[in-house]
Amino acid sequence: MTQPLVVFDNVVKHFGSFQAVECMNLEIYKGEFVAIMGSSGCGKTTTLRMLAGLEKPSKGEIRLNGERINDLYSWERETPLVWQNLALFPFLNVIENVEFGLKMRGMAKAERRKKALLWLERLGLEEFAERDISQLSGGQKQRVALARSLVTEPPILLLDEPLSALDANLSVRMQSVLTGLQKDLGITFVYVTHSQSEAFAMADRVVIMSRGRVEQIGSPQEVFREPHNRFVAEFVGGKNILVGTVTALGDASLVRVSSEHGEFQARLPDGKTVVPGDRVTVCLSAEHVDLSVQASRPNRLACTVVGEEFIGSMVNIHLEAKDGLELQVQKMHADYDQLGIRSGQQLFAEWDAESALILRGE
């Protein structure tokens, strides 16, 4: 295994009595696209700022290329950050903004102009070189900020919700610009966002944080298919959560679970063991639940349709079981039309035993 580019080794950060990050352990490798996500106040930005040298860890060690960087000032490390509000220099024009990092490193004027121009070309900004920052559109400013950070050819680029100010279309376009750049350059991107869609679309690995703690680290697929705990399941969305007690162990990884909503089978994730009597939390993806008028499978709940919402090509159907448990089911439009569902209708929500996953961390 190669040496990780960045290591967070039991890093703690508190501001006064507020624990912003508690015990962060994370390894980031060369050429990886890592997204750190969570809702606001979860410590994701603090984590990024510690890496950028803008906050000092209270405890623990951050290493870059194997060297402790805790005590290095921001200007002593090669960890450029793309700011959420971009923080471009308003009194400098586009090319002067891009040159800034080179100028601070003492590069001669002619040389840094040339380099900055190359980056402007690369990002399709060469015609704006002499423009004022205030004359640019949001997307153009974004690319200036990228060029400004990349011009010094750093081994890593930090991004703090850079797309949050853009409209949805532009944001998707910038996502492909970012992933393209990251692949071409082969450098590490650490991307902080509260948007699950951004993180899942771009990242090789995602780090999900809540209240200063890392809840799960893994590829988007892993996190989506096998959330470790209830927080992650709810955060990635489209999940139904059922709580119950293990009544019997079955063949392979299937166990019987008894809940107040009824009895059903659920699957254990690899490496987790339970004994009868254990409390477990079961996660059921909305897209794995089928609806039928006639009960046909053993794992089912009798429900009433309470509402639908249309999201792009999908429909989210909201159900309520007899005891008030809310379930959501996701279907393609075509399937939804075939079912001919209407509000208030009684039907069965059914699923395969394999689809009901017992959460590892609960």
CA distances from 268 to 85, 246, 277 (A): 44, 11, 15
Q: Which is nearer to other proteins, 74 or 338 (CB)?
A: 74
Position 15 contacts other proteins (CB under 8 A): no
Phi, psi for residue 94 in degrees, rounded to 5:
-60, -50
Position among 56, 68, 103, 279 found at the interface with other proteins (CB under 8 A): 103
Judge whether 335 and 316 are in contact, CB under 8 Å: no
Judge whether 207 and 36 are in contact, CB under 8 Å: yes
Query: Angle CA(3)–CA(23)–CA(162) in degrees, nearest 5?
Result: 75
CB of 189 to other proteins, least distance (A): 16
Judge whether 212 and 225 are in contact, CB under 8 Å: no
Q: Which two tokens stand for residue 138?
A: 């949001």
Of 78-86, 174-182, 216-224, 276-284: span binding other proteins (CB under 8 A): 78-86
Position 189 contacts other proteins (CB under 8 A): no
What is the C-alpha to C-alpha distance for residues 252 and 185, in angstroms, rounded to an integer? 45
Position 18 contacts other proteins (CB under 8 A): no
Position 92 contacts other proteins (CB under 8 A): yes
Q: Which is nearer to other proteins, 162 or 220 (CB)?
A: 162
State the distance between the two ends of the chain, measured CA to CA, in whole angstroms: 31
For 54, the 3-state DSSP assignment is: coil
Binding to other proteins in span 40-59, by CB under 8 A: 52-54
Q: Which is nearer to other proteins, 103 or 322 (CB)?
A: 103
Judge whether 30 and 2 are in contact, CB under 8 Å: yes
Q: Which is nearer to other proteins, 68 or 105 (CB)?
A: 105
Q: Which is nearer to other proteins, 61 or 132 (CB)?
A: 132
Q: Which two tokens stand for residue 339?
A: 């079912």
Number of residues that bind other proteins (CB under 8 A): 28
Of 37-45, 61-69, 103-111, 281-289: span binding other proteins (CB under 8 A): 103-111
Interface positions with other proteins (CB under 8 A): 52-54, 73-75, 79-81, 83, 85, 87-93, 96, 100-101, 103-105, 132, 148-149, 152
